[in-house]
Structure 1
Amino acid sequence: MMVFELNSKLATDTFSIARLGLCDLRLMNDCRWPWLILVPMRPSICEIHELTPLDQTMLTFEAGIAAQALKAVTNCEKINTAAIGNIVRQLHLHVIARNSGDPGWPGPVWGFGTREPYAEKAAKDFADAILKAI
């Protein structure tokens, strides 16, 4: 039996917030955008269609919960949700709060400028706010 293991790049680039029913909920370590990552805790899965129908439903449900919490905490104009996976093949879903005038608006966040890491307390405070909103 294969065991779920978080991709090393995701582990390096994100902070753990909580384990939900299916997903490991994480915060991207880039304070330019409030940016959550959902990683289904299933080994060797790269694409949404590789999940079972029940897991697909759970991913959609948990993405909705994450998006609602992000919206409540940030009062953002728009939530962007994407599963790209060109660099990190392990299935993960990006849930990003966007506002007109934020860095790179209205373009995508990927590849824009240089990452600005969170201060440790700021990351913890943001993660706590997300947990409270969930």
Structure 2
Amino acid sequence: MLTFNRHSSFEIDRTLEADSHPICWLGLCELRLIDDRRWPWVVLIPQRNGITELHELTPLDQTMMTFETNEVAAALCAISDCDKINRGALGNIVPQLHYHIVARNAGDPNWPGPVWGYGVREPYGSEERIAFCDRLKQQLTQS
């Protein structure tokens, strides 16, 4: 189920908030678009304050996180026609638990290397960002 409002008690790390745009709420996570148009790149942030590692979530939340990341990965793959989905939860700079999902294609910037720290970020234009988010939300509701 998609919703579009953050739960009032949930606090998102300022860096994550500054580097991304909200798309929607899933059951457990807020889905956000990383503001770098070089790659279709989203992040899921579970609405649990004070959690830094996946194993700190309850078993039910771990299951929900796995389900939501798989749903988002499939939707991102469908709308981007990518060669590969990269996933990761590093947390070295931002300790709040968040899970990256990046659609990659052979020949994209820094292929096959990682997207983190590569080159200069290229922010989305407003119309392009809104269109991308709308396509992803539509794909998520169809799955």
Q: With structure 1 as the length reference, what TM-score do the two structures score?
A: 0.97
Equivalent residue letter for 1:101: G
> Following the alignment from structure 2 to structure 1, what is the Cα–Cα distance between the partners of residues 76 and 114?
18
1:98 aligns to 2:109 (yes or no): no
Structure 2 distance, partners of 1:111, 1:42, is 27
Q: Counterparts of 2:117 and 2:16 in 1: how far apart (Å)?
A: 16
- 1:4 is displaced (CA, Å) by 1.9
- Report what 2:79 is aligned to: 73
Unmatched tracts of structure 2, length 5 or more:
1-8
The size of the alignment, in residue pairs, is 132
1:55 to 45, 57, 61: 61
- Extract structure 1 runs of 4+ deviating beyond 6 A: none
Letter in 1 for 2:118: F
Q: Where does structure 1 lack aligned partners over 5 or more consecutive residues?
A: none
Q: 1:41: which partner in 2?
A: 47
Residue 19 of structure 1 aligns to which amino acid in structure 2?
Answer: W
In structure 1, the partner of 2:20 is 14
Give the letter aligned to residue 66 of structure 1: V
Q: Deviations over 1:107-129 (max 9, x none)?
A: 00001000000001101100000
Could you tell me the percent identity over the aligned residues? Answer: 55
Report the equivalent of 2:120: 114
When normalised by structure 2's length, the TM-score is: 0.91
* Amino acid aligned to 2:75: A
